[in-house]
């Protein structure tokens, strides 16, 4: 449905979006989740053809957003961060105007405008001037204009920002309704909102896509905190020694607890499963386990970790190192190629010299034979 490949947008030296790639499938609700300034609006503005990318491609239903803009844009309805509402028009006038702009067939306009007003519950407001509407109603008009032309994909940039709790619930309801007929992409800086309405979450930080998947998969893949809490019956010293001998354990603290038990807090390598070994070794020494808890992170922990400056800076450093490595590799290849060409030229020159010497020698021999023959 939508394919975004290696998208980058640079403002001066600063990347608003860096090397973003993802695909959007039909019929799902996608959520761009990221703190303010993460690059959500920039990405949406590029995807909808509002601004051009510095690099990369966006394909909508097989149409390039720049090369086949008209076809591509027909597939998308967009509610930007600042909806382009004409304050001095009535709701109906404005929607008629949008239908005309989107080249909806004249015979179809009236029906479509009525339909989107009905779906967004603004039919009663159609005669009101937009400037006199509440923020919640303005947002509904924004949604209605995105729906005109019945596009396959509806893109909503922070659709609930600035709304009161009741209005937020209403807009969320509308988004759920939209899902029945459209693929929806929305952005938000609020985790609970994205988790509630979206099937797929794309976490964006500093212009990078740092994780994506359903909430369930994100929890499964990134939710392990790599720590275990354990209560066992045994001596502090012995338990400590056994735990520390297990492959994959990074650190362990053991404290005495009631009833001859000890409480342990173990941190382990994220690529290892240490629980089997842990149980086997303790029990083999007659140390019985009363409680074992493999701690997991909440979606909020994951979000905070992935959008934390330190984490993103680590990604940036890795990117820079990789880029430097690739550059050095290319330079080395270029140097090697130059050297090989130089070698080839020298070889050819040598061959030519040899050839010339040979010809000179042959000419000398020939001249001498000629001389002898003349005599
Ligand atoms: P979000 O929508 O996630 O809050 P934006 O896409 O609006 O983030 O912005 C991403 C980054 O790009 C920010 O650092 C912002 O300051 C910068 N940015 C956005 N638009 C411009 C612009 N027109 N000129 C310069 N910098 C910009
Ligand atoms: Mg934004």
Taking only the tens place, the pLDDT of each residue in 61-77 is 999 999 999 899 999 99
Mutate to test the pocket of ligand 1, among 8, 12, 37, 158 (most ligand atoms within 8 A of CB): 37
Beta pairing partners, 153? 76, 183
Tell whether the model's pLDDT for residue 364 goes beyond 70.
no
CB 77 within 8 A of CB 120: no
Taking only the tens place, the pLDDT of each residue in 212-246 is 999 999 988 888 888 999 999 999 999 999 999 99
Instruction: Check: pTM over 0.85? Answer yes or no.
Output: no
Compute the distance from residue 17 Cα to the ligand 1 centre, in Å.
9
d(CA 311, CA 241): 33
Distance of CA 104 to the CA centre of its chain: 34
Nearest CA to ligand 1 atom 22: 11
d(CA 154, CA 143): 9
Task: Decide whether any atom of ligand 1 lies within 6 Å of the 290 Cβ.
Answer: no
Q: What per-residue confidence (pLDDT) applies to 353?
A: 82
Fold for 224-296, please state it.
Alpha-Beta Plaits (3.30.70)
CATH number for 2-220 (one of 3.40.1480.10, 3.30.2270.10, 3.40.50.2300, 3.40.50.300): it is 3.40.50.300
Residue 43 CA: nearest ligand 1 atom is 6
Contacts of 100 (CB under 8 A, 6+ apart): 109
82 pLDDT band, cuts 50/70/90, is confident
Compute the distance from residue 159 Cα to the ligand 1 centre, in Å.
18
The torsion of the CA quartet 177, 180, 181, 185, rounded to 10 degrees, works out to 70
Closest CA to 194 of 158, 239, 144: 158
273 pLDDT band, cuts 50/70/90, is confident
Residues near ion ligand 2 (CB < 5 Å) are 40-41, 81
Give the C-alpha distances (Å, rounded to integers) separating 105 from 41, 96, 112, 148.
Answer: 31, 11, 10, 12
Nearest CA to ligand 1 atom 5: 39
Taking only the tens place, the pLDDT of each residue in 110-158 is 999 999 999 999 999 999 999 999 989 999 999 999 999 999 999 999 9
Task: Decide whether any atom of ligand 1 lies within 6 Å of the 39 Cβ.
Answer: yes
The least confident of 49-53, 84-88, 103-107, 351-355 is: 351-355
Nearest CA to ligand 1 atom 1: 37
Task: Decide whether any atom of ligand 1 lies within 6 Å of the 50 Cβ.
Answer: no
356 pLDDT band, cuts 50/70/90, is confident
Residue ranges per structural domain of the chain: 2-220, 224-296, 310-375
Q: What per-residue confidence (pLDDT) applies to 58?
A: 96
Compute the distance from residue 3 Cα to the ligand 2 centre, in Å.
21
219-242 as b/e, with b when 16 or more CB fall inside 10 Å? beebbebbbbebbbbbeeebbbeb
How large is the average pLDDT for residues 196-213?
94
Tell whether the model's pLDDT for residue 257 goes beyond 60.
yes
């Amino acid at each position: 449905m939508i394919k975004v490949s290696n998208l980058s947008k640079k403002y001066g030296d600063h990347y608003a979006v860096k090397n973003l790639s993802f695909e959007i499938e039909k019929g799902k609700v996608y959520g761009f989740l990221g703190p303010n300034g993460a690059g959500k609006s920039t990405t949406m503005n590029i995807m909808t053809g509002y601004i051009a990318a510095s690099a990369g491609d966006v394909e909508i239903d097989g149409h390039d957003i720049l090369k086949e803009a008209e076809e591509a844009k027909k597939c998308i309805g967009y509610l930007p961060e600042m909806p382009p509402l004409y304050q001095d028009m009535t709701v109906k006038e404005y929607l008629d105007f949008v239908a005309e702009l989107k080249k909806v067939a004249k015979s179809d306009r009236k029906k479509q405008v009525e339909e989107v007003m009905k779906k967004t519950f603004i039919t009663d407001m159609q005669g009101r001037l937009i400037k006199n509407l509440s923020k919640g109603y303005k947002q509904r008009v924004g949604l209605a204009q995105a729906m005109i032309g019945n596009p396959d994909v509806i893109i909503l940039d922070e659709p609930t920002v600035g709304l009161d709790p009741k209005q937020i619930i209403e807009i969320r309801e509308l988004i759920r309704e939209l899902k029945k007929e459209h693929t929806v992409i929305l952005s938000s800086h609020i985790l609970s909102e994205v988790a509630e309405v979206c099937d797929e979450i794309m976490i964006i930080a500093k212009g990078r896509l740092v994780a994506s998947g359903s909430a369930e998969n994100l929890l499964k893949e990134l939710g392990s905190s790599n720590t275990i809490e354990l209560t066992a019956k045994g001596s502090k010293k012995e338990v400590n020694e056994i735990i520390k001998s297990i492959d994959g354990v990074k650190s362990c603290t053991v404290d005495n607890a009631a009833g001859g038990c000890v409480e342990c807090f173990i941190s382990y390598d994220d690529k290892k499963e240490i629980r089997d070994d842990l149980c086997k070794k303790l029990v083999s020494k007659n140390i019985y386990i009363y409680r074992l808890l493999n701690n997991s992170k909440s979606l909020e922990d994951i979000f905070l970790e992935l959008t934390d400056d330190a984490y993103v800076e680590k990604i940036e450093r890795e990117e820079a190192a990789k880029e430097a490595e690739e550059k050095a590799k290319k330079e080395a290849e270029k140097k090697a190629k130059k050297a090989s060409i130089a070698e080839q030229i020298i070889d050819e020159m040598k061959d030519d010299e040899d050839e010339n010497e040979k010809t000179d020698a042959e000419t000398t021999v020939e001249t001498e034979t000629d001389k002898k023959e003349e005599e």
